[in-house]
């Protein structure tokens, strides 16, 4: 494990292997550890970097900066700080939005993007639902997460895996909830046609949090974009069906 100073905060990351660089970004409240299965496989022939975003994992927990725009800035400055040239960015859930913004802001610095079970514009305008979730988290964070997180996985997912995810989010603390608020106002669809880097969406077949229609619409709007459905996987496809997902990711990278 190493740390990089990014905009005044220490961000924790793992950096192993050599070859084409891949930078993995996790979703809301979790950490780079959600990519463990992929890292073990891909490190044989790639440089694999898994990053803990601000407020999460082993990274610092500043009081501000929990918006899509601010976290995207963190990611781009992190790439510069650790000397990663034209990596493929791979991001789960809300991190798909960071990938979109990075591709629009700095296409010359990226080799491609792979959004995974990415919500993108799915939550725009859904202020009432997000307000209800935030109220529930304030009233009983542990209990709300215990009910909420299992929906991210296929029905027969291991209890230990779900419990580990809940623990990561609890450890991250409540400041990350700012990202939930920001999602309700985020709709990049009018700008997606400006993405010029290679783009391949991976999406769990059984994802009940983000329907398949969301990445399908994005693929239609992004020139040359592609999509692969991971059979039998939920919203956390990289953990739900790790072997299938890793094979699909390798195919996408080719």
Q: Is 200 helix (H, G, I), strand (E, B) or coil?
A: strand
Selection from 147, 224, 214, 225 nearest residue 186 by Cα: 214
* CA 111 centroid distance within chain: 17
- Asked if 52 and 13 count as a contact pair (C-beta separation under 8 A), the reply is yes
Taken in order of first residue, the domains within the chain and their CATH numbers are 2-253 (3.40.50.1820)
Q: Is 109 helix (H, G, I), strand (E, B) or coil?
A: helix
- Residue 68: partners with Cβ closer than 8 Å, 6 or more residues away: 94, 97, 98, 101, 179, 182, 183, 186
DSSP annotation string for 157-199? --HHHHHHHHHHHHHH-GGGGHHHHHHTT---GGGGGG--S-B
Q: What is the pLDDT of residue 173?
A: 85
Name the maximum alpha-carbon separation found in the chain. 47
pTM of this prediction?
0.97
CA distances from 63 to 128, 145, 247 (A): 25, 22, 39
DSSP annotation string for 30-43? --GGGGHHHHHHHT
- Burial-class residue 156 by CB neighbours within 10 Å (0-12, 13-18, 19+): exposed
* CA 171 centroid distance within chain: 18
Q: Give bridge partners of residue 47 from the DSSP assignment.
A: 21
- What is the DSSP code (8-state) at residue 53? P
> pLDDT tens track of the chain, all 254 residues?
999 999 999 999 999 999 999 999 999 999 999 999 999 999 999 999 999 999 999 999 999 999 999 999 999 999 999 999 999 999 999 999 999 999 999 999 999 999 999 999 999 999 999 999 999 999 999 999 999 999 999 999 999 999 999 999 999 989 999 999 999 999 999 999 999 999 999 999 999 999 999 999 999 999 999 999 999 999 999 999 999 999 999 999 99
Phi, psi of 160 (to 5 degrees): -65, -35
* CA 182 centroid distance within chain: 15
**What do you get for the CA distance between the two ends of the chain, in Å?**
28
């Amino acid at each position: 494990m190493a740390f990089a100073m990014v905009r005044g905060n220490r961000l924790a990351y793992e950096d192993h292997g050599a070859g084409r660089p891949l930078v993995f970004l996790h979703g809301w409240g979790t950490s780079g550890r959600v990519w463990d299965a992929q890292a073990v496989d891909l490190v044989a022939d790639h440089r694999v970097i898994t990053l803990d975003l601000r407020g999460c994992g082993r990274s610092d927990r500043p009081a501000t900066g929990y918006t899509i725009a601010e976290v995207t800035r963190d990611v781009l400055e992190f790439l510069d700080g650790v000397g990663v040239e034209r990596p493929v960015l791979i991001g789960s859930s809300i991190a798909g939005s960071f990938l979109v913004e990075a591709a629009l802001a700095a296409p010359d610095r990226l080799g491609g993007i792979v959004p995974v079970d990415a919500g993108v514009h799915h939550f725009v305008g859904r202020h009432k639902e997000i307000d209800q979730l935030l109220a529930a988290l304030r009233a009983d964070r542990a209990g709300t997460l215990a009910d909420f997180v299992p929906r991210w996985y296929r029905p027969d997912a291991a209890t230990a895996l779900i419990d580990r995810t809940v623990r990561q989010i609890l450890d991250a603390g409540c400041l990350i909830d700012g990202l939930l608020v920001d999602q309700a106002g985020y709709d990049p669809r009018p700008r997606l046609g400006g993405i010029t880097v290679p783009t391949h969406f991976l999406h769990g077949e059984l994802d009940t949090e983000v329907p398949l229609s969301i990445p399908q619409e994005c693929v239609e709007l992004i020139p040359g974009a592609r999509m692969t459905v991971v059979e039998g996987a939920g919203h956390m496809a990289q953990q739900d069906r790790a072997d299938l997902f890793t094979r699909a990711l390798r195919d996408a990278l080719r």
